[in-house]
């Protein structure tokens, strides 16, 4: 990770790059900001990178999803966050398709649910929630906008001005290399003021859909039931518990996640196995034990599916983690 900073301690700006070989590794890297469960839903090596700038109580970063990914979790430590789309397909957030007039956002205390298609690039901005609410009040913003920033709001998608969103995204992208090379013309206090003012300037009041569409509700409930079940849950039994037909469940998953329920839950279990491999030492765990823990009783088939999904064998993952730890300790 690289850093650049101004000379005065109270006006420090930090910037850098975080690179990881798996989406699970990246989840751990941002654990100071998110309680995050990330699942790779598309086969292939997942090279993850975020380029970030931090100043005081603000933080923004550029992220790229090369493959379809499902993210659930919560923003931590009294923060407000939102995503600015840059290029690629739009995200599905809480079951709603986000366009430039609709921005995915999160508040500490809310759970979020995001499906990112492969090729998405976006900037995520994190702010202090109390300060944002105070400035919204001070600026005299309409009650509807202030309501959209408060806990208990009817929807987590913000209504925004498309042209302002595009310009804001371009400015953020220009700031990232400038900060990394020490050429940013703003100090930390000025950067913070600019981020808060620009964020509030993006928002507008106009008709917007509220609540989560039925497909998103069904997918979320299906995931909750499956997570509470020990071992793989047959789709037929899941449909019975949800009181829906297999066709209805498949339609919901394809519209929200882009894949069938069977593929979705298989890939979730593969991701959980990968997380376990990444968190253990090669001398302390066997691949067979981890495979069995997540419902894969045929080791050969598990290894084939794992390689197809992540581009390496389970044992290679273990060896790579062991090498990284040895290199770090050296």
- Return the pLDDT at 283: 65
Q: Which of 149, 172, 202 is the last residue before a domain boundary?
A: 202
Q: Are 218 and 284 part of one and the same domain?
A: yes
208 assigned to some structural domain: no
Could you tell me which residues come within 8 angstroms of residue 284 by beta carbon, excluding any fewer than 6 positions away? none
Rounded mean pLDDT, 228-251: 88
pTM: 0.79
Q: Are 185 and 313 part of one and the same domain?
A: no
Bridge partners, 124 (sequence order): 61, 83
Q: Are 100 and 185 part of one and the same domain?
A: yes
What is the rounded average pLDDT for all residues in the chain? Answer: 85
Q: What is the pLDDT of residues 202-223, one digit of tens each?
A: 998 765 444 556 787 788 889 8
Rounded mean pLDDT, 68-92: 91
| Residue 201: pLDDT over 80 | yes
The domain that holds 49 is classified in CATH as: 2.60.120.10
Which range has the worst mean pLDDT, 11-15, 108-112, 213-217, 320-324? 320-324
Please state, in angstroms and as integers, the Cα–Cα distance from residue 138 to each residue in 131, 146, 257, following that order.
10, 11, 40
Q: What is the pLDDT of residues 93-144, one digit of tens each?
A: 877 777 767 899 999 999 888 888 888 899 999 999 999 999 999 988 888 8
CB atoms within 10 A of CB 32: 8
Q: Which of 202, 229, 251 is the last residue before a domain boundary?
A: 202
Q: Are 166 and 241 part of one and the same domain?
A: no
- Return the pLDDT at 63: 92
Q: Are 25 and 116 part of one and the same domain?
A: yes
How many domains does the chain fold into? 2
Q: Are 145 and 168 part of one and the same domain?
A: yes
| Residue 6: pLDDT over 80 | no
Please state, in angstroms and as integers, the Cα–Cα distance from residue 140 to each residue in 128, 130, 135, 165, 181, following that order.
19, 16, 8, 21, 37
207 assigned to some structural domain: no
2 assigned to some structural domain: no
Are the beta carbons of 188 and 11 closer than 8 angstroms? yes
Rounded mean pLDDT, 303-326: 79
209 assigned to some structural domain: no
Q: Is 305 left (phi over 0), alpha (psi -120 to 50) or beta?
A: alpha
Q: Are 175 and 296 part of one and the same domain?
A: no
- Return the pLDDT at 282: 60
The domain that holds 235 is classified in CATH as: 1.10.10.60
Q: Are 196 and 261 part of one and the same domain?
A: no
Which range has the worst mean pLDDT, 40-54, 128-142, 200-214, 230-244? 200-214
157 assigned to some structural domain: yes
4 assigned to some structural domain: no
139 assigned to some structural domain: yes
- Return the pLDDT at 284: 67
| Residue 10: pLDDT over 50 | no
Looking at the chain, which runs of residues are DSSP E strands?
Answer: 13-20, 34-40, 48-55, 58-65, 69-75, 79-87, 92-93, 96-97, 102-107, 111-116, 120-128, 157-159
Please state, in angstroms and as integers, the Cα–Cα distance from residue 44 to each residue in 63, 178, 293, 310, following that order.
18, 32, 23, 5
Q: Are 273 and 142 part of one and the same domain?
A: no
Q: Which of 172, 202, 232 is the last residue before a domain boundary?
A: 202
- Return the pLDDT at 49: 87
Q: Are 49 and 195 part of one and the same domain?
A: yes
3 assigned to some structural domain: no
Range of the domain at 319: 214-329
Q: Are 173 and 321 part of one and the same domain?
A: no
Rounded mean pLDDT, 221-237: 86
Q: Are 176 and 47 part of one and the same domain?
A: yes
Question: Residue for token digits 């509470």?
Answer: 228
Rounded mean pLDDT, 217-241: 87
């Amino acid at each position: 990770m690289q850093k650049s900073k101004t000379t005065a301690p109270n006006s420090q700006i930090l910037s850098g790059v975080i690179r990881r070989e798996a989406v699970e590794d990246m989840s751990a890297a941002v654990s100071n900001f998110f309680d995050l469960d990330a699942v790779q839903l598309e086969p292939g090596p997942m090279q993850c990178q975020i380029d970030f700038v931090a100043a005081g109580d603000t933080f923004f970063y550029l992220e790229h999803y090369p493959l379809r990914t499902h993210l659930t979790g919560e923003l931590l430590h009294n923060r407000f966050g939102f995503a600015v789309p840059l290029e690629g397909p739009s995200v599905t957030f809480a079951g709603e398709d986000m366009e430039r007039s609709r921005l995915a956002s999160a508040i500490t205390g809310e759970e979020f649910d995001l499906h990112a298609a492969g090729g998405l690039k976006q900037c995520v901005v994190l702010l202090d929630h109390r300060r944002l609410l105070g400035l919204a009040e001070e600026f005299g913003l309409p009650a509807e906008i202030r309501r959209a920033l408060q806990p208990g709001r009817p929807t987590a998608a913000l209504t925004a001005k498309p042209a302002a969103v595009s310009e804001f995204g371009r400015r953020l992208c220009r700031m990232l290399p400038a900060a990394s090379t020490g050429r940013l013309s703003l100090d930390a206090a000025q950067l913070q003021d600019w981020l808060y003012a620009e964020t509030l300037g993006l928002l507008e009041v106009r008709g917007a859909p509220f609540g989560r569409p039925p497909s998103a509700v069904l997918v979320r409930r299906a995931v909750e039931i499956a997570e509470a079940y020990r071992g793989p849950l047959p789709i037929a039994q899941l449909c019975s518990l949800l009181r829906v037909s297999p066709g209805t469940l498949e339609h919901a998953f394809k519209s929200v996640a882009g894949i069938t329920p069977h593929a979705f839950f298989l890939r979730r279990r593969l991701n959980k196995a990968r997380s376990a491999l990444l968190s253990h030492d090669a001398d302390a765990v066997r691949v067979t034990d981890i495979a069995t823990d997540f419902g894969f009783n045929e080791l050969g088939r598990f290894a084939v599916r794992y390689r197809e999904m992540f581009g390496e064998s389970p044992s290679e993952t273990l060896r790579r983690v062991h090498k990284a730890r040895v290199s770090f300790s050296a």
